[in-house]
Structure 1
Amino acid sequence: MAIREILQVGDKRLESVCEPIKKIDKEVLELAKDLRDTLYNCDGVGLAAPQIGVLKRAILINLRNGSEEILLFNPKITKQSGNEKDYEGCLSYVMHEGEVVRPTSVTVEGMTIEGQRMKYEAKGFLARAFCHEIDHLDGIMYMSKAEVMYELVEE
């Protein structure tokens, strides 16, 4: 198992624009495994490759409510509509939340681990997760979009 350290705010790699994945090779398969191992070892619902120090365009989302796992390479939002303000957190900025306006509906296209093109029509929380993780691939952290930030306190 390859559980990787999740980079935290302040690490310059989180501010980097990631490179596209051109082919599914051994390195990309290992990245996919590392994303899975790392995400399922914590409480998050999504993880992007730069959060584990790999500057490639790959995301993993699993809302963990019986929904399917989504592993996508070179994801791109091709359509969006609506706006909704809600709370967001991030594995790269623990113990904080912010109120962020995101689209309520998005269409996302990308490549599967089998190298096939895939399209997702997402609404609500899944749409928010796609937007959040894809922002990571462009070096954008949710705090820069937050209207208000909160520091969480352990009880």
Structure 2
Amino acid sequence: MSIRLIVKHPDAVLRERAQEVTKFNSNLHKLLDDMADTMYDADGVGLAAPQVGILKRVIVVDVGDEHELIELVNPEIISAEGEQLGPEGCLSIPGLQGDVRRANRIVIRGQDRNGKPIQYEGSEFLSRAFQHEVDHLNGVLFIDTAESVYEARKPSEPGEQEQDGE
């Protein structure tokens, strides 16, 4: 397992559509392991393969809930309902945040690292993280859909947490 370099905006790879994964092998397993290590090392809650320069439809998400680390290959949002507006950051766009309108609850399906079909339901923060990462697979960044974009707020009090990047 390795920490990979996170691609930063305006790198062109972030604007390309990622390709479907067809080979479920040790290369994919290493990519998933490296992506998780990279996300945790950067204190993020999600990471898409294009963010490490790989144009494959692969995401990892861990919002700190009971699901822990979620790995999704070829993810597809199959239903969405409700609405939420909230702040997002991105490991590929350090120093900025934006208020983005997203579905409040989604159902997402894909495959696990071995190609087995899997499905998750997510609401609130988990829903937001899934949608943010799937956007990356389609070359869309939060700054494209944000209703406002602003400098990321730094913690000002001891113990105060900064908004996690996705």
Report the TM range for the smaller structure's normalisation. over 0.9
Aligned residue for 1:133? 133
C-alpha distance in 2, partners of 1:145/1:153? 20
Partners of 2:25 and 2:114 within 8 A in 1? no
C-alpha distance in 2, partners of 1:148/1:20? 32
Partners of 2:99 and 2:146 within 8 A in 1? yes
Shift of 1:125: 0.5
Aligned residue for 2:116? 116
Percent same amino acid among aligned pairs?
A: 39
SS of equivalent to 1:131: helix
> 1:17-28 alignment to 2 at 5 Å?
17-28=17-28
Of residues 24-33 and 97-106 in structure 1, the stretch that sits farther from structure 2 once superposed is 24-33
Aligned residue for 1:102? 102
C-alpha distance in 2, partners of 1:66/1:104? 18
Shift of 1:67: 3.7
Unaligned runs of 5+ in 1: none
Post-superposition Cα deviations, 1:86-145, rounded to whole Å, max 9, x if no partner, equal 000000011111000000010100000122101111111000000000000000001000
Aligned residue for 1:89? 89
Shift of 1:43: 1.1
Runs of 4+ in structure 1 deviating by more than 4 angstroms, as ranges, are: none
Aligned length: 155
Q: Which amino acid aligns with 1:6?
A: I
C-alpha distance in 2, partners of 1:63/1:71? 12
C-alpha distance in 1, partners of 2:153/2:64? 24
Distance of aligned partners of 1:25 and 1:144 in 2 relative to their CA distance in 1, 3 Å threshold: same
Aligned residue for 1:47? 47
Partners of 2:143 and 2:149 within 8 A in 1? yes
For normalisation by structure 2, the TM-score amounts to 0.89
Unaligned runs of 5+ in 2: 157-166
For the aligned residues, what is the CA RMSD?
1.2
SS of equivalent to 2:147: strand
SS of equivalent to 2:59: strand
C-alpha distance in 2, partners of 1:51/1:71? 15
SS of equivalent to 1:136: helix
SS of equivalent to 2:95: strand
C-alpha distance in 2, partners of 1:36/1:71? 9
Task: From the two aligned structures, give the one with the greater strand fraction.
Answer: 1
